[in-house]
Chain A
Amino acid sequence: MADLRCEIAGIKAPNPFWLASAPPTDKAYNVERAFKAGWGGAVWKTLGEDPPIVNTTSRYGAVAVNGQRMVGFNNIELITDRPLDVNLMEIKQIKRDWPDRAVLVSLMVPCEEAPWKKILAAVEDTGADGVELNFGCPHGMSERGMGSAVGQVPEYVEMVTRWCKAATRMPVFVKLTPNVTNIQAPARAAKAGGADAVSLINTVNSIVSVDLDSMAPTPTVDGKGSHGGYCGPAVKPIALHLVAQIARDPECAGMAISGIGGIETWRDSAEFIALGSHGIQVCTGAMHYGFKIVDDMIDGLNNWMDGKGYRRLADFHGAALANLVDWQDLNINAELVARIDQDKCIKCGLCHIACQDTAHQAIAVSGRGPARRFETIDAECVGCNLCAHVCPVEDCIAMTPVDNGKPYMNWTQDPRNPHASAAE
């Protein structure tokens, strides 16, 4: 049994699986159920100033791909719609009842020092482990000068973070918006402001679909739609990229990372940790399937770690970062060629037509009926991988290394590069 305990910015939890600030952490009832189910921590649904905001109906949109529901999910919800004192009371009760779990409180108030000071004092009183500054919400609140309207301006990020650090002894997490051209700018600003950790990503600006009958974007509120925030499995690649960009940035070193975005399984979680996350947070996965998914996240991560001989999270934390390089550092001389396993091939022809129409005309077809056969033309195959991706049969097309006897050479050393520095 591996040790799944995690510690981020001094906050301890029995496992790295936390619920992100969202409807699953909206009130004591939900968080209680989540902790009973086994979640290691929860970031409370964002609190704001009273009077509470008001939400619309409906609020959610979703993308289904080939029958798979909620591959992408989007919302136009705002922060908590319950009074501040009710939330604070419930947070206090939860932290008292579940001392071993991480309880963070997400906050969003106007961009002035006084309101931040005031709410931080109130949160401190609950005994919560830390706070997360919501600089990420891309809809509704940003129109009011909060959320991503702050997160998109590094100077504001630094300023508010500094106010908060000065006002509280609690660890401060800064939640970043992905809706920026360079994530390192707000991350560095958070660091400069004294943040203990960054959490990312918040949702991506989006319109999930247009209802072609009513000619309105979805979700639709009385015939109108709005820009919403996109999340769910579809955004995981974006989140991994942004997490890794911060993890690779020497200027952000020392700041912890709480990875969020499309995580639904132990494998997703392990990938985030391998790219530098210290823990992870989940929203859509829980909203889709309920809290029980944490069972397999815990069990699966345990089994995988045991199999790999990792005893604690630190053993593989950031392990994939060493293999993440800039494009110019990749080995230009490495060569792969597609190999089709004729025993597995079901002769659907997808590899052929994909290569023929859109790649390098490197898969030849011969025969008809049961005698149909698909074979790589080695001389034409550039090893791009397209066929292996379109092939519906697992492990039928293997991208096989070619021993060309050539040594490592990257683009900066390649004589074909007009700006190459001559290889030694």
Chain B
Amino acid sequence: MADIQAGRLSSAELAENFADVHRPLDRAGALAEANRCYFCFEAPCVDACPTGIDIPGFIRAIATDNLGGAALTILKENIFGGSCARVCPTDILCQGACVRNVDGDGPLAIGLLQRHATDHLDPSVAHPFARAPETGKAVAVVGAGPAGLSCSHALARRGHNVVVFEARGKPGGLNEFGIAAYKLPDDFAQREVAFITAIGGIEIRYDQQAALDRLRQEFDAVFLGLGQGGVRDLDLPGADLQGVQNAVDYIAELRQADDLASLPIGASVVVIGGGNTAIDIAVQAKRLGAEDVTIAYRRGPEQMGATPHEQAFAQTNGVRIKHWLQPLRLEGDGGAVQAALFTSAQNGAEQSIPCDMVFKAVGQTCLPMADDDLQLADGRIAVDQDGRTSLPDVWAGGDCVAGEDLTVQAVQDGKRAARAIDLYLQDKKG
């Protein structure tokens, strides 16, 4: 019998396992860390941040106790600075480029400093950015994820009115439904959206399935921040057995659960995939109380989509990572999965891993809007440098276009498209 149970751990244990994974810096810690920054000339860390935050600038502001200024320096380039500080894989972005990697002391903790600064911003005081005078233009944004809301905020700042069409009943995109719970604990995603929309001029409509041609008729321009609604299928014999699930669906459930003790999880869990989603589901399964969690990836550690930091994080959480395992089939008994079978990509030998649950984490796919006639490239919406699609009044960005599937990249895409849309609207008379 498959061993799948809810409430493997006590509420107290669950609360601890899903609390903030990084302890925030206190003032003394932030000052000490900020003072390690060299204030580099044309700093390499800035080049490595997709949103181009003036990192030495905000770190210096922290060092001088100018926390309000530090927060604004960040938010000016990245309105999702709060969540990016928590979710960015900084080891391959800003921190990876910090010159202090080279001189021995280790890179600046840029993510933690960014969080220290943005946390300081008091949400009860007025929104820090003012809107330009109303332009009378209206833009439709599809998707209330990081890409859509970043674009919305930048457009609202420039005086345009924005209506956001969101398919789900809540805003935030994967910040609300996808990111690992311990990276964005509590209601951070919702508080951040409330902060962003407080600038005014942004209306979000929920449970929407808007058609692109209607939007193009009713609005002066359209931005698509659809994310990747589809999951790539893993065509394996036995994939329809009970206990076999898509990782992203389970994570969404976990993120929305009022009581983590209500989530059923297997005693033994196998995760198929090698990206950050695979890491996230594996670690969260472990933290829900699964006894034995194995990530099975078909290639080697260098090819894994998950960053080295994420791989190490999984391992310190007690997750086993097995490489060079090509999935063969899933076997079950009485309709429930019992084992995952693999062939070794190195010697062809078969290997069976007994399990009660299997999570598929082999990637997501873009689901373009129904009935649109947008050009695609490699399965995603084709765009130019500014994020403009094959339609002259439609832009797109975030996970639904080519590029890194990262929150910070989605924010940058939205910001960059807003700039282009603004120019387009200025040119478009009447």
Residues of A within 8 A of B (CB): 66-67, 346-350, 352-353, 365, 368-369, 372, 392-393
Secondary structure at chain A's binding surface: helix, strand, loop or mixed? loop
- A67 CA / B27 CA spacing, docked (Å): 12
In the complex the two chains form, is A348's CB within 8 Å of B38's CB?
yes
Residues of chain A with a CB closer than 8 A to B32's CB: 67
- A365 CA / B43 CA spacing, docked (Å): 13
Asked if B44 lies at the interface with its beta carbon under 8 angstroms from chain A, I say: yes
In the complex the two chains form, is A347's CB within 8 Å of B35's CB?
no
- A346 CA / B99 CA spacing, docked (Å): 6
Contact of B41 (CB < 8 Å), options: A346, A350, A392, A393: A350
Residues of chain A with a CB closer than 8 A to B35's CB: 66-67
In the complex the two chains form, is A348's CB within 8 Å of B40's CB?
yes
A304 to B: closest C-beta gap in Å: 26
In the complex the two chains form, is A67's CB within 8 Å of B31's CB?
yes
In the complex the two chains form, is B47's CB within 8 Å of A346's CB?
no
Contact of B47 (CB < 8 Å), options: A352, A353, A368, A393: A368
Residues of chain B with a CB closer than 8 A to A352's CB: 41
In the complex the two chains form, is B47's CB within 8 Å of A350's CB?
no
Apart from A67-B31, A349-B43, A353-B41, what are 12 other A-B pairs with CB-CB below 8 Å? A66-B35, A346-B103, A347-B44, A349-B40, A349-B41, A349-B42, A350-B38, A350-B41, A365-B41, A369-B44, A392-B38, A392-B103
Residues of chain A with a CB closer than 8 A to B47's CB: 368-369
Asked if B424 lies at the interface with its beta carbon under 8 angstroms from chain A, I say: no
Q: What are 28 A-B interface contacts by the 8 Å CB criterion? A: A66-B35, A66-B63, A67-B31, A67-B32, A67-B35, A346-B100, A346-B102, A346-B103, A347-B44, A347-B99, A347-B102, A348-B38, A348-B40, A348-B41, A348-B99, A349-B41, A349-B42, A350-B38, A350-B41, A352-B41, A353-B41, A365-B41, A368-B47, A369-B44, A369-B47, A372-B44, A392-B38, A393-B103
- A111 CA / B42 CA spacing, docked (Å): 62
Residues of chain B with a CB closer than 8 A to A350's CB: 38-41
- A349 CA / B39 CA spacing, docked (Å): 9
Residues of chain A with a CB closer than 8 A to B102's CB: 346-347
- A67 CA / B29 CA spacing, docked (Å): 10
Closest A residue to B32 by CB, please name it.
A67
Residues of chain B with a CB closer than 8 A to A368's CB: 47
Residues of chain A with a CB closer than 8 A to B44's CB: 347, 369, 372
Residues of chain A with a CB closer than 8 A to B41's CB: 348-350, 352-353, 365
A373 to B: closest C-beta gap in Å: 13
* Nearest 5 interchain pairs by C-beta: A349-B41, A353-B41, A346-B102, A346-B99, A66-B35
Residues of chain A with a CB closer than 8 A to B39's CB: 350
Interface size of B in residues (CB-CB distance below 8 Å)? 16
A165 to B: closest C-beta gap in Å: 51
- A365 CA / B42 CA spacing, docked (Å): 11
Residues of chain B with a CB closer than 8 A to A346's CB: 99-100, 102-103
B92 to A: closest C-beta gap in Å: 14
A154 to B: closest C-beta gap in Å: 44
Residues of chain A with a CB closer than 8 A to B40's CB: 348-350
- A12 CA / B318 CA spacing, docked (Å): 67
- A13 CA / B102 CA spacing, docked (Å): 48
Give B28-69 as 1s and 0s: 1 = Cβ < 8 Å from A's Cβ atoms.
000110010011111110010000000000000001000000
A346 to B: closest C-beta gap in Å: 4
Closest B residue to A352 by CB, please name it.
B41
A350 to B: closest C-beta gap in Å: 6
B419 to A: closest C-beta gap in Å: 23
- A347 CA / B97 CA spacing, docked (Å): 11
B153 to A: closest C-beta gap in Å: 30
Closest B residue to A351 by CB, please name it.
B41
Closest A residue to B48 by CB, please name it.
A369
- A137 CA / B411 CA spacing, docked (Å): 61
- A393 CA / B101 CA spacing, docked (Å): 12
- A372 CA / B43 CA spacing, docked (Å): 11
Closest B residue to A357 by CB, please name it.
B41
Residue among B40, B41, B99 with most chain A CB within 10 A: B41
- A394 CA / B391 CA spacing, docked (Å): 56
- A365 CA / B38 CA spacing, docked (Å): 17
A374 to B: closest C-beta gap in Å: 9
Closest B residue to A66 by CB, please name it.
B35
- A369 CA / B63 CA spacing, docked (Å): 26
Closest B residue to A370 by CB, please name it.
B44
Closest B residue to A354 by CB, please name it.
B41
- A260 CA / B39 CA spacing, docked (Å): 35
B56 to A: closest C-beta gap in Å: 10
B196 to A: closest C-beta gap in Å: 32
Residue among B40, B47, B100 with most chain A CB within 10 A: B40
Closest B residue to A368 by CB, please name it.
B47
A209 to B: closest C-beta gap in Å: 13
A347 to B: closest C-beta gap in Å: 6
Residues of chain B with a CB closer than 8 A to A353's CB: 41
- A348 CA / B39 CA spacing, docked (Å): 8
Residues of chain B with a CB closer than 8 A to A347's CB: 44, 99, 102
B18 to A: closest C-beta gap in Å: 34
- A347 CA / B100 CA spacing, docked (Å): 10
Closest A residue to B97 by CB, please name it.
A369
- A348 CA / B40 CA spacing, docked (Å): 5
A355 to B: closest C-beta gap in Å: 10
- A349 CA / B47 CA spacing, docked (Å): 14
B192 to A: closest C-beta gap in Å: 31
Residue among A66, A348, A393 with most chain B CB within 10 A: A348
B32 to A: closest C-beta gap in Å: 5
- A301 CA / B99 CA spacing, docked (Å): 36
- A368 CA / B43 CA spacing, docked (Å): 10
A208 to B: closest C-beta gap in Å: 17
Residue among B31, B39, B47, B63 with most chain A CB within 10 A: B39
- A67 CA / B35 CA spacing, docked (Å): 7
Closest B residue to A349 by CB, please name it.
B41
Residues of chain B with a CB closer than 8 A to A349's CB: 40-43
Residues of chain A with a CB closer than 8 A to B42's CB: 349, 365
- A349 CA / B56 CA spacing, docked (Å): 13
Closest B residue to A65 by CB, please name it.
B35
- A392 CA / B36 CA spacing, docked (Å): 11
Interface residue ranges of B102-127 to A (CB < 8 Å):
102-103
A62 to B: closest C-beta gap in Å: 15
- A97 CA / B44 CA spacing, docked (Å): 63
- A369 CA / B47 CA spacing, docked (Å): 8
Closest A residue to B31 by CB, please name it.
A67
- A18 CA / B57 CA spacing, docked (Å): 45
Residues of chain A with a CB closer than 8 A to B43's CB: 348-349
B290 to A: closest C-beta gap in Å: 41
Residues of chain A with a CB closer than 8 A to B99's CB: 346-348
- A348 CA / B43 CA spacing, docked (Å): 7
Closest A residue to B42 by CB, please name it.
A349
- A392 CA / B100 CA spacing, docked (Å): 10
- A347 CA / B40 CA spacing, docked (Å): 8
Interface residue ranges of B7-32 to A (CB < 8 Å):
31-32
Give B376-389 as 1s and 0s: 1 = Cβ < 8 Å from A's Cβ atoms.
00000000000000
B279 to A: closest C-beta gap in Å: 28
Residues of chain A with a CB closer than 8 A to B103's CB: 346, 392-393
Closest B residue to A353 by CB, please name it.
B41
- A350 CA / B43 CA spacing, docked (Å): 10
- A66 CA / B59 CA spacing, docked (Å): 13
- A65 CA / B270 CA spacing, docked (Å): 53
B390 to A: closest C-beta gap in Å: 32
B306 to A: closest C-beta gap in Å: 24
Residues of chain A with a CB closer than 8 A to B100's CB: 346
